């Protein structure tokens, strides 16, 4: 029986940080489909110990993670396990989008995942320059070529936490060339305890 600890919708183009306790689960739902979710995780007791996509992909010798696989910290500790994944297409190679990608006239105030993370993580002492490369749920970028997502409305990933963590997500605001469906859309975050 699952007990819901937290359940909140995050608007497309915006971000959110949450604290998650060891043993709890986080489900991230792409409510409308085609939405990239940038994802970061830091050990709650030490923000210098964070989930590293480079340590994770070198552990598996692949850029493709799915059900059953773990995400590792910079200390090579398993931090998070993917226990359910209805999409199966994600990315561990790109940085988060940032203000320098939106330099064209009229785009100067465009939001970015870097901005979302900087805003939502400031209360935890994480500053902009400290933001690591994220895991990109639902991002379709084979061979470093960014393509529209495969994710369908309701596709989700469910993550089990192996340590207390501060997590930040961003419903990616990048809306160029049809990415994120051309218009960023909402995601749902649900934290549960399961006996
Ligand atoms: Zn982004």
What is the tens place of the pLDDT at every residue in 75-131?
A: 999 999 999 999 999 999 999 999 888 877 777 778 999 999 999 999 999 999 999
Give the SS3 label for residue 68: coil
Q: Give the Å distance between the CA of 111 and the centre of ligand 1.
A: 9
Which residues, listed in sequence order, are joined to residue 6 by a DSSP beta bridge?
191
- Judged against a pLDDT cut of 90, whether residue 155 lies above it is answered with yes
In this prediction, residue 1 carries a pLDDT of 80
Q: Give the Å distance between the CA of 191 and the centre of ligand 1.
A: 23
Ligand 1 is a single-atom ion; what residues have CB below 5 A from it?
A: 97, 113, 172, 174
Mean pLDDT of the chain: 95
In this prediction, residue 112 carries a pLDDT of 96
Of the pLDDT bands very low, low, confident and very high (cuts 50, 70, 90), residue 46 is very high
- Judged against a pLDDT cut of 80, whether residue 72 lies above it is answered with yes
Q: Give the Å distance between the CA of 112 and the centre of ligand 1.
A: 5
In this prediction, residue 109 carries a pLDDT of 79
In this prediction, residue 60 carries a pLDDT of 87
In this prediction, residue 100 carries a pLDDT of 85
Q: Give the Å distance between the CA of 102 and the centre of ligand 1.
A: 11
Of the pLDDT bands very low, low, confident and very high (cuts 50, 70, 90), residue 147 is very high
For the chain, how many residues are written? 195
Q: Give the Å distance between the CA of 152 and the centre of ligand 1.
A: 19
Q: Cα dihedral angle (74, 77, 83, 84), rounded to 10 degrees?
A: 10
- Judged against a pLDDT cut of 80, whether residue 157 lies above it is answered with yes
What DSSP character marks residue 139?
-
Q: Give the Å distance between the CA of 31 and the centre of ligand 1.
A: 17
Task: Please state which of the ranges 1-15, 93-107, 114-128, 150-164 shows the lowest mean pLDDT.
Answer: 93-107
Of the pLDDT bands very low, low, confident and very high (cuts 50, 70, 90), residue 40 is very high
In this prediction, residue 48 carries a pLDDT of 95
Q: Give the Å distance between the CA of 126 and the centre of ligand 1.
A: 18
What is the distance in angstroms between the CA of the first residue and the CA of the last residue of the chain?
A: 6
């Amino acid at each position: 029986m699952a007990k819901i600890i937290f359940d909140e919708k995050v608007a497309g183009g915006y971000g959110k940080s949450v604290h998650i306790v060891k043993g709890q689960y986080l489900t991230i739902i792409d409510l409308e489909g085609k939405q990239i979710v940038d994802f970061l995780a830091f050990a709650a007791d030490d923000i210098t110990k964070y989930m590293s996509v480079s340590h994770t992909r070198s552990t598996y010798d692949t850029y493709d993670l799915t059900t059953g696989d773990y995400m590792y910290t910079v200390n090579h500790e398993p931090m998070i396990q993917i226990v359910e994944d209805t999409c199966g297409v994600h990315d561990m190679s790109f940085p988060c989008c940032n203000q320098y990608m939106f330099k064209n006239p009229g785009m100067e105030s465009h939001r970015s995942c870097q901005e979302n993370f900087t805003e939502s993580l400031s209360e935890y002492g994480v500053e902009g320059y400290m933001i690591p490369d994220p895991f990109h749920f639902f991002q379709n970028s084979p061979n470093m070529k960014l393509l529209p997502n495969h994710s369908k409305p309701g596709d989700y990933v469910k993550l089990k936490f192996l340590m207390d963590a501060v997590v930040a997500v961003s419903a990616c605001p990048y809306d160029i060339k049809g990415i994120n469906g051309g218009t960023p859309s909402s995601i749902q975050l649900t934290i549960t305890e399961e006996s």
